[in-house]
Structure 1
């Protein structure tokens, strides 16, 4: 099973449509700050949340969704202090019994395995920050098997960045 995760495109709707056209996934999640509208065609069949820069009505604050046998929980992250640590987000993930936790907001890509939960921040597709900002904007693809989670990061041209591949045994 494959889960596509995008965040923080900040008004660049063209990149969202390009990624969706080029990548194949069983589920697509957008972690907020699209600066668009929930009625944009990109969001058809996509799970999405409100970011701190999303002002249109209709964006939920959080989503908890079954994908296959796994529970995927997503929020933007600003309400959980993810710029500082994942503690509050981890508590919420435990409350909803999430297997996979998706968030954005920091514009810094990252993967963590904590208390048998996979935490993924795909980075910002438009305005990356942090150690890997030299790559340009990024998004993530999570491949789930019976034995592991594989997280691959891609650049704006939908090219895999091999040095960022992470495999976590379940």
Structure 2
């Protein structure tokens, strides 16, 4: 399964739709701050959460199961992701997630801590502290692993982010 993870598009619905179309993912996760009407979002299998700049009434966090991999999706501002990843790590572990997707900082992160992958796709419109706008594509592989690649909005691979990560699931959580 191929999952597009994107965040902080800040009103750029056209660019978001273009990226979704080009990537052709099985599922799209938007980690908030889409700052547009929900009706303007792409009509694809989509999990979205409310960011600190969003006005639409969508969930603030979501658990989404993709086979044996459980995703915890939130924007991140309520977990102070600009200063530490520990609060979001603890919350993701508490809900039994193997992947925590978040945004808010506009800075791409892909870091494994134990059996948890912390993933911030960055921002395709306004990166902060990183040289280029980014989004992430996560492939769920058959050997309890995932592979993550980061790209810029023109689909050029960002080589210094991502990798292959082994995750196990606790079947009692699913």
Please give the TM-score of this superposition, normalised by the length of structure 2. Answer: 0.89
Count of residues in Structure 1 that have an aligned counterpart in Structure 2: 166
Q: Deviations over 1:111-164 (max 9, x none)?
A: 11113011100001100011xx322x1100011211432110010112222333
Aligned-partner SS, 1:9:
coil
CA contact under 8 A between 1:2 and 1:142: conserved in structure 2? yes
Mapping for residues 106-121 of structure 1, pairs under 5 Å: 106-121=105-120
Cα distance between partner residues in 1 of 2:147 and 2:99: 12
Aligned pair 1:159/2:139, yes or no? Answer: no
1:51 matched residue in structure 2: 51
Q: What is aligned with 1:34?
A: 34
Q: Following the alignment from structure 1 to structure 2, what is the Cα–Cα distance between the partners of residues 150 and 97? A: 20
CA–CA separation in structure 2 for the residues paired with 1:126 and 1:41 = 16
Contact 1:104–1:121 (CA<8 Å) still a contact in 2?
yes
TM-score (norm 1): 0.91
1:140 equivalent in alignment to 2:136: yes
> Which ranges in structure 2 are unaligned for 5 or more consecutive residues?
168-174
Superposed displacement of residue 44, structure 1: 4.5
Which of structure 1's runs of 4+ aligned residues deviate more than 4 A?
Answer: none
- Per the alignment, residue 19 of structure 2 pairs with 19
Residue 43 of structure 1: how far off its partner (Å): 5.4
